[in-house]
Structure 1
Amino acid sequence: MPVVIAGVPLDFVLFALTLLGVALFHHHTLAVALTGLVAITACKLAFTDFAGVPGVSGLVAHLGHEWVTVANLFGLLVGFAILSRHFELSRVPAVLPRFLPDDWKGGFVMLLLVFVLSSFLDNIAAAMIGGTMAASLFRGRVHVGYLAAIVAASNAGGAGSVVGDTTTTMMWIAGVRPSQVLEAYVAAVPALLFFGVIAARQQHGLQPIVKDAPTGITVEWTRLAVVALILLAAIGANVVFNLRAPQVLDDMPVIGLAVWIAIAATTPLRRPDWRLVPPAVRGSVFLLSLVLCASMMPVQHLPAASWQTSLGLGFVSAVFDNIPLTALALHQGGYDWGFLAYAVGFGGSMIWFGSSAGVALSTTYPQARSVGDWLKNGWHVGVAYVMGFAILLITLGWHPDPAH
């Protein structure tokens, strides 16, 4: 017999408490996520069922269905950490500032670069590269509003790309076409233009850009080629198997395997920085614990998918992690995936701990950890979110996939 608290199934109550714990205890997120997963699993075993199948047999059937998604995400998350380091070591980020204008427009162009980088790199990597460039360009004096803009640019850039953000990669793995996700740029680009100009002027008022660009640095093209090969492996595997053997994608973690085959094949060219693997594994286990929690939720009790629900999910993702929110939406179905990609991808930028990119950047800039300062100085991000969503709704309209 399902247990209900104030009209809400116990499953959702435990899930909400898990997400709240993640938001409050940033130094213990892995422990909180694993505790939540154990509690939700125990609740399902004791009081409810797994998609109509009770007990241990239901749990085994559920994991048998979800393991491909989890394995693919694990391979991609850890693999993209290796890829991002290859890109950093290619010295492209160090060369890019040479081409920036000397006034406030230099700060704006840097945000554009973060946006573009995030379209093919993980948004965490793009935000960290942006933070590194900002420290050099502005002599370490970076405005909180500009930090919010770096996070927002990284999240906006990944919102329309299936290899730019974990949420869009999840959609891609679940069968959403890249062209459906691409529509998110209709909202993300005007949002970037709005908050980017304001944030760049904020930064210029605090600390103008350094005019002397670094010299004597050259791009390491071999590393850049390795980055391209790893990305092509992920994209190629998905495209080829979708065209030739789509059932294989449901049965095997093909995309994650393709990334690691490419990493192994390119190791003789440039050795990966294996020191990144342990922290990437810990971060992946944390995110995948939340994904598994979300996969066990009774989605039939959620609000019906609509553009209003999508808009609301963007605000929710500013407080709670967007990975499990995306997992819930994918299990529920009935969304226009371009809207959802923009909402959960960009919405988390409105508060510093609402996205992994914000949490990562705050390790370098502790002043970003004040919610009050973030909201006060980064107000333009929230306005840009609503504005971009409205533009997407007016120009393309709401065209959902059928509900599951």
Structure 2
Amino acid sequence: MTRVEGGAQAIDLAVEPFGWLLLVIFIVGYYFIAAEEKYHINKAKPALFTGTFMFMLLGGYYAVNGLDFSSFDVEIAHLILEIAEIFFFLFVAMTFIEALIERNVFDALKEKLLSSGYDYKKLFWVTGFLAFFISPVADNLTTALILSTVLITIERKNKAFLVPAAINIVVAANAGGAWSPFGDITTLMAWSAGKGTFIDFLFLFPSSILGWGVTAFLLSRFVPDGTPTKIEGAEPVHIHKGGKVIIFLGVLTIASAVLGKQLMHLPPMWGMLFGLSLLQLYAYTLKKYHDHDIQIYKSVAKVENDTLLFFFGILAAVGALHFAGFLAHAAHLYTMFDPTYVNIGVGFLSAIVDNVPVMSAVLKASPDIPLAQWMLVTLTAGVGGSMISFGSAAGVGVMGKLKGVYTFGAHMKYSWTIVAGYFVSVAIWYTQYEVLGLYIKPVAKAVTGH
């Protein structure tokens, strides 16, 4: 049984024993990814092995059976392009964050919160607000790690404050990342795949902020009264020379990525790499003329390679399932059921599995759904992971920072507040997109004959 793949004939392995072997390998590999804490193995290792091994088997199957490699070559070329776009985008974003950390930008923010004298309830709202508005630029994981560090610095023992505040940061970071292509890997994937323009994703802002707002309001009812003990005699923290310029260069880099994608048809990574070149040139001038070394190459070296390799592996594994034909069958769900219900289910699935492979699978299945539905699946995949503590990178990161405090059990105690916010987000989406039509509708292209 064959199907057309990239203009070439491909074997539908989903009905073959070999195809089911690939599916078993994927499931086993994903088990070890999900059980990272149990086996103390970084998830990048099983992800990279699974993704590369599945394609080695596919290539071997085609070679042994003397099959036409045209469709295989097309799949590999598309996959390399897709992974390269995400890989280099994340590489530059993480380098900028490391450079800002080195220049004390985030330490200065932390110091301001520490010296503010806010009570627990104000700190709850301020850290959540910051998480929501920093994550669209700095990404949800980095934002959650920075602000959870602030929490544990302010208060180490009061779990009644720490648990709701940690959950609030995770939910806010994921919700903030959902409406910006820079805030969450799933949103970046959808933007890179051309499922919407940069402006289209900004229209998810009402759904994101109101959904988080409902969860935050419900969580705030459990935050205790009182004020944390103020740290006396702490040295004021100042941003090192060049830190503010790097913030400006970061904004310019984002603008380059957006304009390059929307106006010049360049992949987002191109504008990001242009921004990295500006950062490197600025580091050179700062060192030569002001004798300030921001150690840009050390910042590049500190970029977490495991994170990048995890994305390579998991995207390759999902690509193998797509090439084998499994995702074409999964796409039939969108014709069997109302796409709205399927996309709501995607949010729950992303909480259990992980939003990256789920979103990758949806994009590769590429169901024939309108822009409004692509925005819904971006929203649900982005915020759905908040419902379970290990359902998002932000949640896993905060669990590591607040060990013994922010746990699976502590999170699930308040998970009903997150589910409530999730359905509010969906309700706002439905009202905005389906009832009021408040979004930019794509212009239908005229069909011309030849």
TM-score range, shorter chain: 0.7 to 0.9
Q: Does 1:31 align with 2:45?
A: yes
Distance 2:77 2:174 in 1: 32
Partner of 2:357: 324
Q: Do 1:104 and 1:201's aligned partners in 2 also have CA atoms closer than 8 Å?
A: no
Distance 1:113 1:85 in 2: 19
Partner of 1:40: 54
Deviations 1:186-230 (A, max 9, x none): 22111221221333343335x744567967334447313213313
Q: Do 1:195 and 1:381's aligned partners in 2 also have CA atoms closer than 8 Å?
A: yes
Q: What secondary structure does 1:354 align onto?
A: coil
Cα displacement (A) at 1:87: 3.3
Distance 2:261 2:36 in 1: 41
1:113 to 130, 135, 140: 130
1:93 to 109, 113, 131: 109
Shifted more, 218-227 versus 30-39: the winner is: 218-227
Distance 1:43 1:256 in 2: 35
Distance 1:116 1:167 in 2: 18
Cα displacement (A) at 1:25: 2.5
Q: Do 2:387 and 2:415's aligned partners in 1 also have CA atoms closer than 8 Å?
A: yes
Partner of 1:216: 236
1:301 to 329, 333, 353: 329
Distance 1:368 1:4 in 2: 47
What stretches of structure 2 of length at least 5 have no aligned partner?
2-12, 287-293, 445-450
What stretches of structure 1 of length at least 5 have no aligned partner?
none
Q: Does 1:228 align with 2:228?
A: no
Cα displacement (A) at 1:55: 6.2
Q: Does 1:366 align with 2:393?
A: no
Q: Do 1:134 and 1:140's aligned partners in 2 also have CA atoms closer than 8 Å?
A: no
Distance 1:386 1:184 in 2: 14
Q: What secondary structure does 2:183 align onto?
A: coil
Distance 2:30 2:406 in 1: 18
Q: Do 1:45 and 1:55's aligned partners in 2 also have CA atoms closer than 8 Å?
A: no
Bigger-Rg structure (1/2): 2
Q: What secondary structure does 1:318 align onto?
A: helix
Q: Do 1:230 and 1:262's aligned partners in 2 also have CA atoms closer than 8 Å?
A: no
Partner of 1:380: 417
Deviations 1:335-373 (A, max 9, x none): 623212221111111112111111111221122564233
Q: Do 1:182 and 1:338's aligned partners in 2 also have CA atoms closer than 8 Å?
A: no
Cα displacement (A) at 1:166: 1.4
When residues 133 and 276 of structure 1 are mapped into structure 2, their CA distance, relative to the original with a 3 A threshold, is: farther
Q: Does 1:151 align with 2:170?
A: yes
What is the number of residues matched between the two proteins?
393
Cα displacement (A) at 1:11: 4.8
1:292 to 316, 319, 322: 316
Cα displacement (A) at 1:12: 4.6
Shifted more, 389-398 versus 119-128: the winner is: 389-398
Q: What secondary structure does 1:341 align onto?
A: helix
1:74 to 46, 67, 87: 87
Distance 1:357 1:192 in 2: 15
Distance 1:166 1:345 in 2: 9
Q: Which amino acid aligns with 2:76?
A: L
When residues 156 and 253 of structure 1 are mapped into structure 2, their CA distance, relative to the original with a 3 A threshold, is: closer
When residues 64 and 258 of structure 1 are mapped into structure 2, their CA distance, relative to the original with a 3 A threshold, is: same
Distance 1:237 1:265 in 2: 18
Q: Does 1:271 align with 2:318?
A: no
Q: Does 1:130 align with 2:147?
A: yes
- The within-5 A match list for 1:47-62 is 57-62=70-75
Deviations 1:81-117 (A, max 9, x none): 2222333421442254255743513311221111111
Distance 1:24 1:36 in 2: 15
1:161 to 159, 180, 184: 180
Please provide the CA RMSD for this pair: 3.2
Shifted more, 173-182 versus 114-123: the winner is: 173-182
Distance 1:139 1:366 in 2: 11
Distance 2:70 2:158 in 1: 57
Q: Which amino acid aligns with 1:25?
A: E
Cα displacement (A) at 1:284: 0.6
Partner of 2:381: 344
1:22 to 16, 33, 36: 33
Distance 1:198 1:240 in 2: 41
Partner of 1:83: 96
TM-score of the superposition, structure 2-length normalised? 0.77
Distance 1:73 1:225 in 2: 26
When residues 119 and 41 of structure 1 are mapped into structure 2, their CA distance, relative to the original with a 3 A threshold, is: same
